[in-house]
Structure formats: C-alpha cells, structure tokens
Structure 1
Amino acid sequence: MLRDARLRLFLTSGTILFVELLLIRWIPANVVYVGFFNNFLLLASFLGIGIGILLGRRLDASAAVWFAPFAFALVLFVSLAQVNIKNELGDVWFATEEGRQLDINFIVLPSLLILTTIAMAFLAVPLGPLLRTMPPLRAYAFDISGSMAGIALFAGVSLAGLPPSIWFTIAGLLVALLTFGAASRWQRAVATAALVGGVMLCLGIETIGGDVYSPYYRLDVVHTPRTDVIFVNGVPFQAMFAAAAPKEAYYDQVYRWFPGRTFAKALIIGAGSGTDVSVALAHGVRAVDAVEIDPGIQAIGRAQHPDHPYADARVSAVITDGRAFLRNSTERYDLILFAVTDSLTLVSSTSNLRLESFLFTEESFASARDHLTPDGVFVMYNYYRQPWLVQRYANMVGQVFGSAPITRTYPTGDFGAAVIADGPLVRGLSSAVPPGDTIEPVDLSAAPRPATDDWPFPYLRDPAVAPHYLLGLAMMIALAALGVGGTLRYVGLPLISFGARFAHFFLLGVAFLLLETRSIVTFSLLFGTTWYVNALVFFAILASVLAAVGVNSRLRSRDPRPLYAGLAGSLLLAYLLPPSSLLIDPPVLRYAVGSAIAFAPVFFANLVFTFSFRNTDAADLAFGANLVGAMVGGVLEWSALLVGYQALLVLVAVVYLLAWIVRPACGPIKGSGLATPEHAPA
C-alpha cells in the first residue's frame, strides 16, 4: 500500500479525473440516447465524488475497492443498452430513427446516472481522510495537481487513438494500485474479477464491432449495396459517394444553378470523408481548402472514399474547427460551402454547445461573407428536418448578406433537405431565378429568432428548456437530495447543521461551475471547439487554482474583501466586453486579451475559494459541499438556453454575493462533530 499521503492524494485525484473523463466519453459513444442529455454524466460524477468524500467520515479507504463491481455493472449495462431518441417536442436532433425510439427512457437514463454516482462515490471515499491528513491548502494543491495529471493522461490516450479496452485497463491498474493494499483477500478477488471482466467486455465489443475512436466519436464503416457509410456512436452519419454516383441532389445544386461558372477556389467546411470535395473537383473547381474537425473521419475518407479526393493535388486538407479557420484565414474564395456539419458531440461536458454551434450563428455567416470574392457565392445544405430551421437559416443568411437568398428544398418525409445560397453572385442575377435550375422561395415571415454567438442554439426553435430536459433535471436534483441526505444520515452528520456550516462552500461550487462553463464557451468561440483547445482550457483553469493556492498560502491575508472586490470587477469587465468584442487580430493579441478577460474572474474566484478553504476546520466536508454545489451549478447552466451565455455572468455574480452574505455563518459549530480531528487549519 502507498504510505505517503501526498502521493496517495495525488494518485487518487488523478484516477478520479481519468475515470470521470472515461465515462463521459465512453457512455455516450455507446448509448447515443445519453449524448442528448448533455452534462448529466458530469453532474452524476460531481454528485458521486461529493457523496464519496462525505462517506469518508465513516468508511475507511478500503471501501474504494467496491468501485470495481459497480464499474463492471455500468459497463455491462451500457453494452446492453441500445437506445436512440425520437423527437416530438420541437427541438431538432440529428439522430437515427432506427432501433427503439423513446422521448424519455425511465430505465436507461436513471440507471446510468445512479450507477455512475455510486461508482464515483466509492472511488472518492479515500479523498476525505486524505484531505484531513494535511493543511487544507496543501491538500488542495495535491488534489488539483493530481486532477491535472488525470486530464493529461486521458488526453494522451485520446491523442494516441487507443481503444476503450486500454482506457479501462489503465483505470483498473490505477484502482488496484490505490485500493488493493487496504482491501481484504476476498475484496481483492471480487475487485479483480470485476475489473478484468469489464476490460474483457470492452475488448469483446471492440473485436465484434471493429470500431475505432477519434477524439470525438466511436467510428465504424458499414458496407451497403449503395455505398460505404460511416457510423458515429452507432448511428449512420456520412455516406462516401463517388461524384458520378446517384446521391442526394444538394451536392450538385450550386453547380446546376450556375452551369457556366467555373470556380477558382472553394472552401468546404465540414468536408468529412470527402464527398463534397469530390463533387467540387468533378465540376472543375481548381483549388479546394477542405476543413474537417475530426481527423478520424477524414482518415477514413482518405483511405476508403471511392474517388480518393484527398489525394488530389488541388485539395488542401485542414484539421480544425471551421469557425476558427475562417477567423485565422486571410484567403478569399469564390465558393464557400458549409456542408453537412451536424454533430452528435458536445464541445465540453460542462456546456450545451455542440461542435458546430458557433458555425451557424449570424457572426459566423458574416465571417464567411467577408471571405468571399466580389463575384463569390456562399452555400449551405443539410437535412434540416424542420421547415422552421430552413426559415431560420434563410432569414439569417439574408440579413447578413443584405439580399434575399435563393433556396431549394427536397422534401422527403421527416428528412427534408434544403440548399441556401447568397452572396455577390446571387445578387448579380438579372432575375430572381439563376440560369441553370429552379428555386423554391422560403416564407421568412415566421422565421424564429436568429442564432448568435451569445445564444448559439440553432436547433432550438425558441428560448426554452424542453419538458423532457426539465424532467431529467428534476430527476437529477431528486437523486442529489436523496443521495446527500441519506449519506449525511448514514455518517451521523445533522443535515441542518451541515447545511448552515457549509452553505458558503456549496454556493461557491454553484457559482464556479457556472463561471467555468462560461469561460469554456468564451474560449471555444475565440479559439475553436477542437478537443485540444478544451483540454488546454481545463488545464489552464486548474493551473489558475494552483496559482490561487500559492497566493493564499503566502500572503496570509485575513480580509477577503479585496478578493471579492477583484472578483466583482473582473465579472463586470467580462460582462461589458462580450466574447464577440475580443475577436481581434493578430491571434497573439486575441489570445492575450481574451485570456486575461476570460480568466481574471476564474482566478479571483479561486482566490475567494482558497481563502475560505484555508481557514476551514473540516476540509473534507467543505470540499464535499463544494462539489455538490458544482452539480447544482451544472443544472443551472441550462438557463443559458433561455438567456444566453453572457447573462450567466449575472447569475454568477448573484450566487457569489449570496456566498459572501452567508460567509459569516461559517464558524465552527460546537458539539457538531464537524471539525477535522486530524488537523488544524493552516
């Protein structure tokens, strides 16, 4: 058994973060249903870790060995659950209609959340005693350092393209290293069987399915009589058509509209496996910049597309976020194409953004407009499914370009496709109809509000949280209330005393999760939605925590008012300077200014937390309350669907004000048994 408490705390925190990221990545890849409930797995993880820390008041470190059988149960349940979503409530989800279709599955989602919470709770049990073995700030520093190591380790296995069986093997070895020394022989036997069984189950799934994992998806290629189809997370996503083969009409529409036009240089965002690129080359486009965010999908296209468009010397392939490419490019194009760019992946587990959310905003369309030549054309197409979504995009394009777009729809049941085009080439038409093909005007009188960088939810018709999400969030709150209440009763802590004593830390957790979410959204807008940008942002946030620990360890100030004043000032500055105002050149200046404004509130928030944490006499309970608060903050993050992300700063400020108000109530409660027995504050 590892005897150095600092090393055990470091490894325990790193293992928890690694497992948390593993579950958040692996479960939605295998149960596509869960992916549409955005940050629920993160909420369950926070809840489980918080409960585990509280359980550390009664259970010893050997209890962590029970993580293994619950993790195996979770893996087994995921392998058996194949649930897709059918939408009937007004929101557009680009998902398959095959298999069982449920709006809310009252078995799958609750079961996954409960199993995740229990597994993470057992894994986190050793954290409580470890936090009590050293001064609070020192313990917090080792905890954060371990968390950074866990993020780095998972980022490394993702970058290497290693399969989930390797992820679970690494997790199993870490769990064994941390728990087997304190466990009995029969506990080790049960845990070993569960860990090996989980790894073998993952290995069997990989062997049968033949899937590969990109940084965003579980990918598989299915051969059909018509063509090869790329499946992502188990659903059909993208077909690899030869340019000369029968295929969807929208691929060729712009070339049919302007049959005499030869485009000199095209930009294709969402180039995917290469069909759009192949069609462009077949129509004589002389040069193509093909932008795709997922290297795995592009690699499949490079190897298996029948036309091999990525091998053509006229094609320059770029792996990045489309919005970031537009922001950093100085090129001009006479054809800019937003291809089929819908995703099944979120930018981050802490936000409701999808990979393409910032691509379909008014500001993004304006960026595309600014990259057109004086005779260029902007085109976008997809299976939009709903008439109101076509109306929204056509209205947004018309407003940005200052002229009515030309459109063509291809209604085929619930999967209607559409093409929208605008730009100088369209405005230059002598009549409203292009020379080569017909158009079908779209009624814009009922177009929903446009999507913007502050409200980047193009697939949401109106600002609202759909009833099925409200039901899911209510279920999450109920799970938290039962879990925390039952845990406090089990460990003998009075609920009222605990709530009064640690309300300050609870509110700090609520506010910080909201602030972290808004910071991630800001950086996604400034620098792209790629996985490595988000990994760096998480790393930077944790680094700011360490910096705050260092400041409060050395300054030893007894007055928190300057810290709260700095937090209030930085929040006000961030509110007055929205992310769109930071889209400046050159990129180095954008990074410096954007980082300063986005991270200043995060740094001051960490100063506030570490100041209070330094002075607590029950570090484990304070930390547990903070994590439960973070879970509640994750629930409140859904309010961005109503008011946008900039308004979250107002909510953040209100919650921090409440934390300041209840702060005087955080003195020790005599006779409560809440103080840390092993250590005095330091």
Structure 2
Amino acid sequence: MLFVELALIRWLGSNVIHLSYFSNFVLLGSFLGIGAGFLISRKSWSIWPWSLPLLTLLTVGVIRYPMSIQHEGGEILYWTALELGGPPAWLALPLIFCLVAVILAGPAELVGRCFAKLPALKAYRWDLIGSLAGIVAFSMLSFMHAPSLIWGLVAGVLYVALSEKKRRLAMAAWTLPLLVILFNESTDENISWSPYYKIQTLDSDPPIDGVVNIRANGVPHQIMAPLELRRAMQYDIYFTPYERRASAELGDVLIVGAGSGSDLAIALDNGARSVDAVDIDPRIMEVGVEQNIDRPYQDPRVTRHINDGRAFLEGTDKTYDFILFALPDSLTLVNGASQIRLESFLFTEEAMQSVRDRLNPGGTFAMYNYYREDWLIDRLANTTTAAFGHAPCVDTFDDAQAVITIGLTPADQACQGVWEPVSAEADMQPATDNSPFIYFKGDNFPPLYIVTLGLILLASLITVRTLGGPLKEMRAYADLFFMGAAFMLLETKNIATYALLFGTTWFVNALVFGGVLVVVLAAVEYTRKFKTPPIGWCYAAMLASLLAAFFVPEEWLLAMPFWPRVVAAVLLAFIPIFIANVAFSKRFRESGDTRSAFAVNLLGTILGGCLEYAALFTGYNNLLIVVGALYLLAFALIPKVRPQVTGAG
C-alpha cells in the first residue's frame, strides 16, 4: 500500500507539470483513501476492483496528455515554465486528491479486512512491517534510478498477487496498458530518472551544436550551452560575479548547484585553481559529464560532490576564495514538509553565516537567478547584509534577473552601486532555519491553500459521515483522531529538523520515514511483550519529551560533530514518537472496533497535514506547541468507559 502511494506521488509529480510543488495534497489524498478503505472494509460491497483500473487510467492519462497546473499570485513563488496552461490549481488539486483517495482505498480495504481477523496489535504490527518493506523498495529503486516501468511492474505484481484467483486475470489485463505506456516512456532515449525528477534532454530548436535543453518533471530546468555561445549572446548574469570581485586571482572555488556544468566551465575559464562542484541531483550531473561540450567535469581541477548544498557547507572544513550559488532552484518539495524545497535551507540567514565562515580573507560570495519578484531580490540582499555586516553589490537585468555579490569585507567587492532596497521592510525579512520559507512573501495566508485545504477537509468530513455513519458513533475514537493529527505534525517537524541537520536529499528523507516506522514498530512490540505504565503517565512523559525538543536550539545541534549530532537528533526526535506510539498502542488494543479506530486515526492525519501549513507563520519549532495541545486534547477525550474488545479485534 505504501509503495503504491509513493509510486503515485512520483508518477503524478513527474507528469502533471508543477504538481511537485503541491505533492503534499497527493499525500493527504492517500491518507483519506486509506482511512476510507478501512471504513469500507466493514461493509459488504467493495472498492478494491476499481483501484487498479483507476490507477491505470490516471497514469496513462497524465503520461499521454500531460497537464500543467496553472498557478498565479505572488504570495508564494514557484519556479515554473514561463507560459502556464491547464486548469487552475484550485480545481486540479481537489480532483487529483479525490482520484488518489479512491485508488488508495482499494488496497486499504484489503488491509482493513485483515485487521478484523487478527488481534489489534498483531494486525498493526504487520501493517508496519509492510510499510517498512515499501520504504525499502522505494529506496532501492531510487538508488538505482529505476525507470517508471519498474515501479509499474512492482505495483502491478502486487495488485495481481493480492487479488482473488477469479479476479487475477482481469487485474492482469488492467496491468497490461499500464506497463505498455510506462515501457514507451522508459525506453525513450531522451528520458532518464533521478531520485527527484524525470529528466528529459532535448536539442534546441533550431538545433545548435552543444546546446541541450534539460527538463525536470516537464518544466524547463537548465540550458546546457557552450561557454563561448553564452559569452557571444551576452548572458551577463553568468559573468558578472567575476567582475564584482576585488581580487584578481580566483583561487579555490565552491559552486553549489553545479548541475550540468555550464557555470563550472565559466569558473574554470576565469582561472580557478580548484573547484568543488556540488549538486543534489546525481542524474543532472551525469548529463553534464556525458554531454557538456566544454567537458568541465573532465578537468582535473574539478571535484564532484553529490550532496545537499547546506549539508556540504556545514560538513566541510575547507575554505574558499569564491563561493557561488548557481541557480539552485528546485522544482519539488521535501516530502511531508509544507513548503520546504530542496534548497530552502540554503538561503536562510544562518546559511549565509556558514558561507561567510567558509571564505578565505579577500574572498567573495555570489548568487544569481531569475528571481521573478523585486521583493525576493531585496530579501536575499538583506539576508547577506545581515550575515556579512555590510551591503552587497546587486546587478539587475531584464525580468527580475539579478546577481547578488558580497565580499568578506566591503573592500573585497567591486560594486558599480551598493544595493538600495525597493521593497517594504517587512518584505525583506530574512528567512531563518526555523522559518525557511524564502519564497513566501508573508503578507497573508495564500488563498490557494485556504480554498484547497478547505475542500480537502470538507471531502474528509463527507467521507467519514457517508462511510462511518453518524459522527456520534465515532465519538468513542475522538482521542485517536487527535492523536493522528498530532503525530502527523510531529513527523513533519522531525522531517524539517533532519533536513536542516543532515540535508534535504532523498536518502535522508527515506531514512527519516524508515526510522519513524522502526520506532513505531518498536513501540508496538514493547506494548505487546511488556507491562506498560498507565496511559496518563505515557502522556506526561510524552509532553516532557516535547518540551525538551522545544527548548534545545537547533544551532546547538548544528555545532556538534557529525556522530554526536546524529545521536542527539535521534534522541530528541524519536523519544516522543516512541512514547506517543506506546500510548496509541495501549489505546488501540482496547478499541472495540479496530477498523473504525484505525480509520479515525488515519483521518486525523489529514487535519495534521492541513495544520502543518501554519508553519508558514509560526515556524517549525512552534509546531511542537500545537502537537502538545493536540495530545492534551486527545488525553481529555479518552472515553471514561472503554469499548469492550470483541472477537479477534
């Protein structure tokens, strides 16, 4: 079930253009579907036969007819194609949300029927083991850069194997068109896969020798062009950082966002003594190695690093004469964390301080991009000012393209004119590690989110009322609902923390999800085999662990050496999760109807998934206050008279 969920997020994100920015809505749809599946499992009718056909139709449809989610508005910026099309986000997102919910309800229904046949904690235990298997499979396929055909083959085999014998032929028939369309996509010589994107390489139109267009998830991402062509076309944004340096000698260089190597070729041409080329996406760097006509990656002065830029800065002791952030603009979010993109922690005030600490005397730092809005240029310029203690050089070009260059001291930069802001002071506030929302202007809560989250909550309420009966019949499990919401927020906070401490790479993300499942499984096994304290004591211990996590500053953890940081991060993140799941396991074991109890808990995660967007204003650390309040509410709602355990449930 978890593997199908992850595969859906991957397929949709790579073919529904711009959906990667809204992948959390797909995740919320899967939670609704799983909860609905458990409620359906109590009924005589079944939605399982419709799951694979809908999965096939949705996958074939989005690959055959790619859709672009149109988004307009300046509250949050998205790196997108310059020409937008397709339905508006407020229409497309709820539609995709509902389709994902129905698809995931099918396998969840089968799991719910198994829950009815097993003791509560034994059923929950096997569900967690299956989820761990899904994470392992996801990690292996991501590591191998597996094409979509392999993902579809695994999903198809699972659907056929789980079906009744009389339905296996029909399931196999529905798998065939799914595999055919994925085979055609996977054998396209211009398409390859990274752990983050579907990468497509295309010749320029008209063809120009050495020019390759790179698309990520259908969106124009990079143009790999020869150095001399960039110079002839007067792409000043690439050359200006070197003109703003006061020192004549370039020396040792760090390029974050090295990508396919075009920025790297310019640094080498300017006389760099050595270059550390850092990029988070291994496949895009491979494209540069294979196809860049200037062959910068073959230069012996270059050392390649596949890593998150912020993690590299925090983990290296090397210092540089020049550090460059070369258009690091991801097209996807860190899964399970609202508005944290792969590069979000690279542009905070604390990150700029790390850059300053990695500069040699006389060194300079620069970043450039097509920033789209003046307030974003001013925010980044103000962030460097706060970190370095003086104003940077800011060179602007057409359509809000800008180069921001700053020396270790004012004497280390050669400005034509020192930066003067054009935006209001509030718009320029630097992002921080606690609130790394560099692209969120902050004026008000985005109307897109208000509409979409409102529709999601309404759909969830209608689903519960339709499938579960009158809401008062679910009252006995109200505490489990709020436990689900609190746990989702706690997981979100931990994902954000680990992204900051260890990087936003797919591997760190997979380790966090896998670690959470392992800790939850350990809590279940502990509850099954040992006598546990009263549930009131569990809640007290959980709140104490949340307070500890709240009051330990993340800058203390960042200052630690790697392995002590790992130990401290694990203790702070996973102790509350362990205690919370001991409390949940005790309560779940006593439920009278495990399917309804588990469904209500899963539906609570939807509320938690909506509440996590509050971090746009509160920051991530303050989410722990919301988590604590939700757990207190759950404790207050524990039924005074517990339902009697019936049958095997």
Amino acid at match of 2:150: I
**Is 1:177 aligned to 2:164, yes or no?**
no
Q: By how many angstroms is 1:619 displaced? A: 1.5
**Is 1:190 aligned to 2:170, yes or no?**
yes
Q: By how many angstroms is 1:207 displaced? A: 4.2
Residue equivalent to 2:488: 513
Residue equivalent to 1:581: 556
In 1, Cα distance between equivalents of 2:105 and 2:428:
43
Contact 2:258 2:278 in 1 (8 A): yes
**Is 1:218 aligned to 2:198, yes or no?**
yes
Contact 1:504 1:666 in 2 (8 A): no
Residue equivalent to 1:45: 30
CA deviation string 1:412-445 (max 9, x = no partner): 3xxx21111112254346xxx54xx666644466
Q: TM-score, normalised by structure 1?
A: 0.90
**Is 1:146 aligned to 2:136, yes or no?**
no
* Partner-residue secondary structure (3-state), 2:331: coil
Q: By how many angstroms is 1:32 displaced? A: 1.9
Residue equivalent to 1:469: 449
CA deviation string 1:75-101 (max 9, x = no partner): 133232421434224321110023515
CA gap of 1:666–1:67, structure 2 versus 1, over 3 A, is: farther
CA deviation string 1:18-55 (max 9, x = no partner): 00000111101111232232400010001000100111
* Partner-residue secondary structure (3-state), 1:408: strand
**Is 1:612 aligned to 2:594, yes or no?**
no
In 2, Cα distance between equivalents of 1:476 and 1:31:
19
Residue equivalent to 1:454: 434
In 2, Cα distance between equivalents of 1:142 and 1:456:
37
CA gap of 1:660–1:438, structure 2 versus 1, over 3 A, is: closer
Contact 2:392 2:419 in 1 (8 A): no
Contact 1:266 1:285 in 2 (8 A): yes
Residue equivalent to 2:378: 391
- After TM superposition, the structure 1 = structure 2 runs for residues 192-211 of structure 1, keeping only pairs within 5 Å, are 192-207=172-187, 210-211=190-191
**Is 1:603 aligned to 2:578, yes or no?**
yes
Match of residue 284, structure 2, among 268, 284, 297: 297
Q: By how many angstroms is 1:586 displaced? A: 1.4
Residue equivalent to 1:362: 349
* Partner-residue secondary structure (3-state), 1:39: helix
Residue equivalent to 1:127: 111
CA gap of 1:282–1:128, structure 2 versus 1, over 3 A, is: same
Amino acid at match of 1:27: L
CA gap of 1:438–1:463, structure 2 versus 1, over 3 A, is: closer
Contact 1:510 1:633 in 2 (8 A): yes
**Is 1:36 aligned to 2:25, yes or no?**
no
In 1, Cα distance between equivalents of 2:374 and 2:527:
56
In 1, Cα distance between equivalents of 2:109 and 2:501:
39
Gaps of at least 5 residues in structure 1 are 1-15, 669-674
Residue equivalent to 2:273: 286
Residue equivalent to 1:5: none
Contact 1:502 1:666 in 2 (8 A): no
* Partner-residue secondary structure (3-state), 2:638: helix
Contact 2:546 2:628 in 1 (8 A): yes
CA deviation string 1:309-366 (max 9, x = no partner): 1110000000000000011100010101111001111111343210000001000000
* Partner-residue secondary structure (3-state), 2:637: helix
Amino acid at match of 2:170: V
* Partner-residue secondary structure (3-state), 2:18: helix
**Is 1:628 aligned to 2:631, yes or no?**
no
In 2, Cα distance between equivalents of 1:87 and 1:476:
20
- After TM superposition, the structure 1 = structure 2 runs for residues 423-502 of structure 1, keeping only pairs within 5 Å, are 423-424=407-408, 426-428=410-412, 433-434=414-415, 441-443=420-422, 446=425, 447-462=427-442, 464-489=444-469, 494-498=470-474, 500-502=475-477
Amino acid at match of 2:647: E
Match of residue 503, structure 2, among 528, 534, 544: 528
CA gap of 1:514–1:440, structure 2 versus 1, over 3 A, is: closer
**Is 1:409 aligned to 2:396, yes or no?**
yes
Contact 1:65 1:188 in 2 (8 A): no
In 2, Cα distance between equivalents of 1:48 and 1:676:
26
Match of residue 539, structure 2, among 528, 549, 564: 564
- The alignment covers a number of residue pairs equal to 640
In 1, Cα distance between equivalents of 2:353 and 2:27:
34
* Partner-residue secondary structure (3-state), 1:100: coil
Farther off after superposition, 80-89 or 91-100: 80-89
In 2, Cα distance between equivalents of 1:635 and 1:43:
8
Residue equivalent to 1:56: 41
Residue equivalent to 2:9: 24
CA gap of 1:309–1:58, structure 2 versus 1, over 3 A, is: same
**Is 1:678 aligned to 2:638, yes or no?**
no
Amino acid at match of 1:261: A
* Partner-residue secondary structure (3-state), 1:175: helix
CA deviation string 1:230-259 (max 9, x = no partner): 100111101112222225212111222348
Q: TM-score, normalised by structure 2?
A: 0.95
Amino acid at match of 1:25: R
Residue equivalent to 1:656: 631
Q: By how many angstroms is 1:63 displaced? A: 5.0
CA gap of 1:173–1:445, structure 2 versus 1, over 3 A, is: closer
* Partner-residue secondary structure (3-state), 1:419: strand
Contact 1:242 1:306 in 2 (8 A): yes
* Partner-residue secondary structure (3-state), 1:142: helix
CA deviation string 1:140-190 (max 9, x = no partner): 111101100011011111111111121111111011111133xx3xx4443
In 2, Cα distance between equivalents of 1:461 and 1:253:
27
Amino acid at match of 2:212: D
Farther off after superposition, 74-83 or 135-144: 74-83
* Partner-residue secondary structure (3-state), 2:253: strand
Amino acid at match of 1:223: D
Match of residue 215, structure 2, among 218, 231, 240: 231
Residue equivalent to 1:158: 142
Contact 1:409 1:440 in 2 (8 A): no
Contact 1:505 1:659 in 2 (8 A): yes
Contact 1:403 1:427 in 2 (8 A): no
Contact 1:519 1:598 in 2 (8 A): yes
**Is 1:539 aligned to 2:514, yes or no?**
yes
Residue equivalent to 1:590: 565
Amino acid at match of 1:388: W
In 2, Cα distance between equivalents of 1:66 and 1:188:
13
Amino acid at match of 2:12: I
Residue equivalent to 1:372: 359
Q: By how many angstroms is 1:677 displaced? A: 4.8
Gaps of at least 5 residues in structure 2 are none
In 2, Cα distance between equivalents of 1:188 and 1:588:
49
Amino acid at match of 1:473: L
In 2, Cα distance between equivalents of 1:202 and 1:56:
31
Amino acid at match of 1:109: L
CA deviation string 1:624-652 (max 9, x = no partner): 11111111110111111121111100100
Amino acid at match of 1:43: L
Amino acid at match of 1:40: F
Amino acid at match of 1:55: I
In 2, Cα distance between equivalents of 1:388 and 1:99:
22
* Partner-residue secondary structure (3-state), 2:227: coil
CA deviation string 1:91-134 (max 9, x = no partner): 2111002351554352x323221111111111211112211222
CA deviation string 1:199-256 (max 9, x = no partner): 2122233445831110000101111145211100111101112222225212111222
CA deviation string 1:514-564 (max 9, x = no partner): 000001111111111000011011111011011111221222336112211
Farther off after superposition, 587-596 or 355-364: 587-596
**Is 1:112 aligned to 2:92, yes or no?**
no
